A and B are shown apart, each in its own frame.
Chain A
Amino acid sequence: MTTTKHETTIEASKETPTITIVREFDAPPELVFRAHAEKELYAKWLGPRDIDMNITEWDFRTGGSWAYSAERDGDEFTQFFGSFHEVRENERIVQTFTWRGAPDGASLEFLTLEPLPGGRTRLTGLSVVESFETQAAIMASGMEKGVLQGYEQLDELLAELS
């Protein structure tokens, strides 16, 4: 194993309706935090290249709120919104997250930044959703987007299963 390990790990728990993401970065927590805190920086890495993320509301502080919409070729096709429950500089961001496509749903997200030797950072994101059904739907959403991005093998699989 090298010192720069970048693989994202995902775990969908069987015991609780949660999803955990772990990823390490070659930058100190201060910078990783800034990339989440500043609207202009966040917009740079939020969405895939073919999708424009338009941040419509950004009040990054404990008790603040956020909202953004996704556009492709100038057409807005979906929106997301939530609140910043707690912002602790360089350490922790707790926020809610709702996709307007499922307006009754909400997830609670705990993002923690842990300093690693060599000026590196381990990011852990824990999402708590309301049901196992939602957990499965979120996992499946990657598939949906994959189809949108033109992954032919997924189209084939969907055709097989329909």
Chain B
Amino acid sequence: MSEDRLSRVFAALADPTRRDLVARLSSADATVGELAAPYDVSLQAVSKHVKVLEDAGLVSRESRRAPVRLEAEVFDLMTKWIERYQQQAEERYQRLDALLAEMQGSTPSRESSRAEDAS
């Protein structure tokens, strides 16, 4: 994904209303009218938000009145971001596991030295 596209995606998702729209579209396609119903804002305002999501390539629609659809690949991308991030953190903590095992092997922890003292 180009830098430009990525920054448009981040900017589009920086807004809480737009994140909410994306979350709702993840369960089903909906028209701008349907999307606007639960909010206390004008149809025009929601339409603008949808336009931002559209420009970022997060959603698409065949015409202005057609249902808005979430681009599945973007949804996959978000899931992959989180999975990769989780995997990286896990790899880092596995290195810490190894270090902790090493520390416990060479220098007994306070609990085990106490146990040794008691025996």
Contacts and interface: CB of A to CB of B under 8 A. Distances in A.
Interface residues of A, number: 44
B103 A137 contact: no
A8 B89 contact: yes
B44 interface: no
Nearest to A123: B93
B37 to A, nearest CB: 20
Interface in B1-39: 1-2, 5-6, 9-11, 13-16, 19, 23
Given A7-B90, A21-B89, A142-B87, A31 B104 contact: yes
Interface of A: 6-10, 12, 14, 21, 23, 25-28, 30-32, 34-35, 41, 44-46, 48, 119, 131-133, 136-143, 145-146, 151, 154, 157-158, 160-162
Given A27-B100, A35-B99, A162-B5, 13 more contacts: A8-B90, A10-B82, A26-B100, A31-B104, A35-B103, A131-B14, A133-B10, A133-B11, A136-B14, A136-B81, A139-B78, A146-B88, A157-B80
